[in-house]
Chains A and B, each alone.
Chain A
Amino acid sequence: MTGTDILALAACGLVAIGLYGLVAQAEVLRKIIAFNLLGAGVFLLFGVVARRGAGAGLAADPVPQAMVITGLVVAFAATALALVLTLRLYQITGAATVAEDPPEPTAPDS
């Protein structure tokens, strides 16, 4: 087992932890953190793939690295968006989870 394999297993572990957190934690904020852990695991996997593709005098394959950089920025934008929604939800309704509301009475809305 090489060092890269160990880090690969760490990536899988991060994915599992992230998935668990997303499913099993109630607060939105914790879900968002778990999503970021999951994302970190995925990016780490790209890193492992890049490392395995080292060659031509490069320490790692640059293509997956470029993808990770792109992915990190997108993930940050998604996190920011989710957090703003969380904050707005909290400001308006005081809710900190996305549990389903009890079925609303059929009030007119327009």
Chain B
Amino acid sequence: MTATTPEGWLLVLALTLPAGAMLLAFVAGGRHAQRIALGALALWLVIAFAIALQVQRGGAPLAYLIGGWQPPLGMALRADGLSAAMLLTGAVVLLAVALFGRAPYATPRGAQETRAAYAYWCFLPALAASLAAAFLGGDLFNLFVALEMLTFTALALACLDGKPSQFKSELRYLLFALIGSVLYLLGAGLLYGAHGTLDIALLAGRTRADAPTLVAGALMTAGLIAKMALFPLHLWLPPAHAGAPAAASALLSGLVVKGAFVLLLRLWFWVLPAPVVLNGGTLLAALGAAAILIGSVVALRQERLKLLVAYSTVAQMGYLFLMFPLLAAGDAETASRAWLGGVLQAVSHALAKAAMFLGAGLIAASLGHDRVAALGGAARVMPITVIAFAMGGLSLMGLPPSGGFGAKWLLLRASVETGQWWWSLVILSGGLLTGGYVYRIVAAALAPPAPGCEARPVPRAQELCVLALALASILLGLVPLKDLGLVRVGAP
């Protein structure tokens, strides 16, 4: 039985505040949209922080019954450590990206509203609302709606520039994401037919490894990993993320794909019965390993900076899947480590990748191109950006002290403990390959400028946003393990 916890209203606020802000920005438009969005996102960060604090302090998940209706008829919002951590990450990244976008998406006083600025300031709170729905939702159908919200938001953000080349890749993304959603919905229908509820907490006690559950699990998982662009379902990600404007790419690669990840965790470690997880987890991890190795090698060979960073997302998403067999096979201690490692990877990748995409965008804007071979001189014009990019890269590589190191260390340790040492080889070679492509970029940026290269200076405020995100991904590695216990609250 779920009951509303005293601080449960925070969850409602986390969902309704950005949703309301989006509606108001939609109506008001122009300069007001920007003010509403910035204010709402700042407040949202406060709320996310308060939720994390409550979950951490109370050591138990928060819950809120919508309208007081008890599941299975009603539905609940829940915030365990996973939700709280992801919500906080989302709030930090969104606010940083919003501040970053103040320059390119400004509406000067007296100027007419422009399409890109209007869409940008409406879709930032929209993304916040979608993420809140995806992270807090306690009902599988409600999460379907959240997934669709994310899809629409991601699509609109990616098309912000209105670049002709972007429409095709976005259409591919939309179609693929829609198939993913429908497959997810199909599975949800089967689960309702078998168990008479879609409430995650209730399903947790009811599922068995019977035919409807298995089929539902396979369909929903496939749908979700299509949205996460796990190899070999990654066709849409590199062009979509690389072609989008910098601020949008940062949100897409950093946050949007994590929405489906949280759903996948909910499905696998709450809904599906244990033996299914044990059997299927290895397949997921094998695909993840392929994503790490192939994605990294392909990233290493990209000639365009943004495509390289996008392929790096394909590779880094692979790490998220290594936790599945480790969590299923280990004892409580190991499972807890694998859990923390996986979630930490999601969080640190969100921060680091957002920084790297923003940095790549600044570099491209300054140099007028993003060919890796011709990045020379970038470090002279925008040292802060290049440093931030390198810091993000260090975190992706898994070098200490960084969030990425913590994540990879925990996964490494869990893989050794469960005797599945082959995953550690994947983690380590992935780190080496990551080091390779990060070095390529940083070395190119440090090189002296080519003759005739004209680099425009970039706004310091934007550089600082990038630096803040990169620093956050590094500082995550300095947070003591005890404080990361937040993630363990309510873990499976």
Interface residue ranges, A against B (CB under 8 Å):
15, 19, 22, 28, 31-32, 35, 38-39, 41-42, 45-46, 48-49, 52-53, 63-64, 67, 70-71, 74, 77-78, 81-82, 85-86, 88-89, 92-93, 95, 98, 101, 104, 106, 108-110
Residue contact B73 to A63, C-beta cutoff 8 Å: yes
Also in contact, A81 and B190, with CB within 8 A (given A35-B175, A88-B167, A89-B167):
no
Given contacts A46-B192, A82-B171, 15 further A-B contacts (CB under 8 A): A15-B186, A28-B171, A48-B193, A49-B193, A64-B189, A64-B192, A67-B192, A70-B141, A78-B151, A78-B178, A98-B175, A101-B168, A106-B369, A108-B368, A109-B163
Main secondary structure of the interface of A (DSSP, over half): helix
Query: Are B178's CB and A35's CB within 8 A?
Result: yes
For the complex formed, measure the closest distance between the CB of A85 and the CB atoms of chain B, giving whole angstroms.
Answer: 5
Q: Judging by beta carbons under 8 Å apart, are A42 and B185 in contact?
A: yes
B368 touches A110 (CB 8 A): yes
Q: In this assembly, does B291 line the interface, its C-beta being within 8 Å of a C-beta of chain A?
A: no
Q: A35-B178, A49-B189, A89-B168 known; A77 and B365 CB under 8 Å? A: no
Measured CB to CB, the closest approach of chain A to B149, in angstroms, equals 9
Q: How far is the CA of A95 from the CA of B172 in the complex (A)?
A: 13
Partner among B171, B181, B186 whose Cβ is within 8 Å of the Cβ of A45: B186
> Taking the complex as formed, is B80 at the interface, i.e. its CB lies under 8 A from any CB of chain A?
no
Q: In the complex, which residues of chain A have a beta carbon less than 8 angstroms from the beta carbon of B151?
A: 78
Chain B: interface size category: 35 or more
Distance between B216 CB and nearest chain A CB, rounded to angstroms: 11
Flag if A85 contacts B189 (CB, 8 Å).
no
Q: Which residues of B sit under 8 angstroms from A15, Cβ to Cβ?
A: 186
**B367-379 vs A: 1/0 string, CB under 8 Å?**
0110100000000
Do residues B179 and A42 form an inter-chain contact, with CB atoms below 8 A?
A: no
Segment 188-204 of B: residues with Cβ below 8 Å from A: 189-190, 192-193, 196
Q: Which partner residue on chain A sits nearest B148 by CB separation? A: A74
- Interface residues in chain B, defined as those with a beta carbon under 8 Å from any beta carbon in chain A: 73, 141, 144-145, 148, 151-152, 155, 159, 163-165, 167-168, 170-172, 174-175, 178-179, 181-182, 185-186, 189-190, 192-193, 196, 303-304, 364-365, 368-369, 371
Instruction: Give the nearest-CB partner of B167 in chain A.
Output: A89
B159 CB contacts on chain A under 8 angstroms: 85
> Could you tell me if B369 and A109 are in contact, using CB atoms closer than 8 angstroms?
yes
- B374: min CB distance to chain A, Å: 9
Contact: A93 with B168, CB < 8 Å?
Answer: yes
Interface of B is mostly: helix
A71 with B185: CB separation less than 8 A: yes
Q: Is the CB of B364 within 8 A of A92?
A: no
> Is B171 a contact of A38 with CB atoms below 8 Å?
no
Q: Is the CB of B179 within 8 A of A22?
A: yes
What's the least CB distance linking B255 to chain A, in Å?
20
A39, A74, A77, A85: the one within 8 Å of B167 (CB) = A85
A91 to B490 CA separation, bound complex (whole angstroms): 51
Q: Find out whether the CB atom of B369 lies under 8 angstroms from the CB atom of A35.
A: no
Question: In the complex, which residues of chain A have a beta carbon less than 8 angstroms from the beta carbon of B193?
Answer: 45, 48-49, 52-53
CB < 8 Å neighbour of B369 from A45, A88, A110: A110
Q: Which of B152, B172, B186 contacts A81 (CB 8 A)?
A: B152
Q: 3 closest A-B pairs (Cβ-Cβ)?
A: A49-B193, A108-B369, A89-B167
With both beta carbons as reference points, the residue of chain B lying nearest to A98 in the complex is identified as: B172
| Contact (Cβ within 8 A) B369 A93 | no
